């Protein structure tokens, strides 16, 4: 169970993507740049935003751009709302005594207005808004509030959020409800990628079963696979090498096994099953395959939890790209 959670705002708790795209297009059109649709915006927008605008509008002072953006943001009639499950998750945190903070690049007055209108401001112990470079700011935040890195996670929807968590040495949780898609988030190597906050709430509710450094575990290390995988069909046409690492929390402590194989996990049988799953069915996304393998560990072999890490060796000048996901066993 985490004792402290740091939240990004836009795309993590608040759905303001349509408003952000509208305000951004207003700025771009002012300088004669074609507008972006939703897909194009999600594909190219990055934080810290000064670097993004430096590429899109070179030579234009940042203060001038920010003034245009704020004016467009303020006069827009586009509504914002809490993302599904956000309110329930914040109530869950309050009931569990989890300290909650916000770290966002959003302009402070705009954030304050949104949080008040959406009725969630009281859930946060402290708000850090208007932060352009979260990766250099977050260490000071941790020190200011005396947060233990081992008990703290940063939840965000963009690569910059994951980088910030890494720089502070805390758990990075990427959520798929916002600005970056799964492939973009996976490139930043978060500790966990979740579809929404309800999923995280379920995981935290079962935290007693989650693996801890001192728990007994079974590991499969460096298992090589030959899989048909990739986004374009021509990439999937030829098998490529993947590297699989698996960390399992067994159904029973080692001290209770009595040297009986049925009371633990047969890792030989498991490895053969994982190889079959990976090599028999082509996949487009590495994330999909990782989820499939982790789920098999918990549903078919009784692991209390399974963390699967897959490495892919395809990009030039990069040793590997990887994804990591954790599945927890649910009682039927």
Following DSSP, what letter does each residue of 33-47 receive, concatenated? PPP--HHHHHHH--S
Asked if CATH classification 3.40.50.2300 holds for the domain at 4-14+80-205, the reply, yes or no, is no
Chain centroid, CA 274 distance in Å: 24
- Closest to 176 (Cα-Cα) out of 4, 21, 23, 323: 323
Report whether 49 contacts 70 (CB < 8 A): no
User: What is the pLDDT, as a whole number, of residue 256?
Assistant: 73
CB neighbours of 318 closer than 8 A, spacing ≥ 6? none
**Residue given tokens 């940063």 in the structure block:** 154
Alpha carbons 190 and 42: distance in angstroms, whole number? 18
Structure tokens at 298: 């918990």
Q: Hey, where are the domains in the chain?
A: 4-14+80-205, 17-75, 218-328
Conformation bin of residue 175: beta by default, left when phi > 0, alpha when psi is -120 to 50 = beta
Answer whether 4-14+80-205 and 218-328 agree in fold: no
User: What is the pLDDT, as a whole number, of residue 306?
Assistant: 92
Those residues of the chain that have pLDDT short of 50 are 208-214, 331-332
Beta strands in 48-179 (DSSP E): 81-82, 99-103, 126-128, 152-156, 171-175
CB neighbours of 53 closer than 8 A, spacing ≥ 6? 27, 60, 62, 65
Asked if CATH classification 3.30.930.10 holds for the domain at 218-328, the reply, yes or no, is no
Alpha carbons 60 and 46: distance in angstroms, whole number? 18
User: What is the pLDDT, as a whole number, of residue 70?
Assistant: 80
In three-state secondary structure terms, 82 is strand
CB neighbours of 246 closer than 8 A, spacing ≥ 6? 219, 220, 223, 270, 274, 293, 297, 306, 307, 308, 309
User: What is the pLDDT, as a whole number, of residue 124?
Assistant: 93
User: What is the pLDDT, as a whole number, of residue 86?
Assistant: 96
- Closest to 83 (Cα-Cα) out of 213, 194, 229, 208: 194
């Amino acid at each position: 169970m985490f004792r402290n959670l740091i939240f990004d705002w836009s795309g993590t708790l608040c759905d303001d993507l349509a408003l952000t795209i509208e305000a951004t297009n207003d700025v771009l059109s002012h300088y004669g740049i074609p507008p972006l649709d939703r897909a194009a915006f999600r594909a190219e927008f990055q934080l810290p935003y000064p670097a993004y605008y430096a590429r899109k509008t070179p030579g234009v002072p940042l203060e001038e751009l920010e003034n245009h953006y704020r004016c467009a943001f303020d006069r827009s009639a586009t509504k914002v709302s809490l993302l599904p499950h956000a309110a329930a998750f914040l109530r869950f945190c309050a009931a569990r005594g989890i300290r909650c903070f916000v770290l966002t690049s959003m302009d402070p007055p705009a954030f304050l207005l949104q949080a008040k209108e959406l009725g969630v401001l009281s859930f946060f112990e402290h708000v850090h808004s208007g932060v352009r470079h979260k990766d250099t700011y977050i260490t000071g935040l941790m020190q200011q509030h005396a947060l233990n890195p081992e008990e703290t996670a940063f939840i965000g929807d963009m690569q910059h959020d994951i980088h910030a968590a890494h720089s502070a040495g805390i758990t990075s949780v990427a959520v798929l409800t916002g600005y970056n898609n799964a492939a973009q988030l996976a490139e930043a190597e978060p500790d966990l990628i979740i579809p929404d906050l309800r999923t995280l709430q379920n995981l935290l509710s079962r935290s007693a079963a989650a693996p801890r450094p001192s728990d007994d575990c079974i590991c499969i290390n460096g298992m090589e696979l030959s899989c048909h995988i990739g986004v374009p069909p021509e990439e999937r046409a030829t098998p490529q090498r993947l590297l699989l690492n698996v960390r399992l929390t067994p159904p029973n402590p080692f001290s209770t096994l009595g040297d009986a194989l049925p009371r633990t996990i047969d890792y030989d049988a498991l490895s053969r099953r994982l190889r079959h799953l990976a090599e028999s069915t082509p996949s487009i996304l590495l994330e999909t395959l990782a989820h499939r393998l982790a789920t098999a560990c918990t549903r078919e072999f009784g692991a209390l939890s399974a963390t699967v890490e897959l490495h892919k060796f395809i990009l030039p000048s990069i040793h590997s790209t990887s994804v990591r996901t954790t599945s927890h066993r649910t009682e039927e």
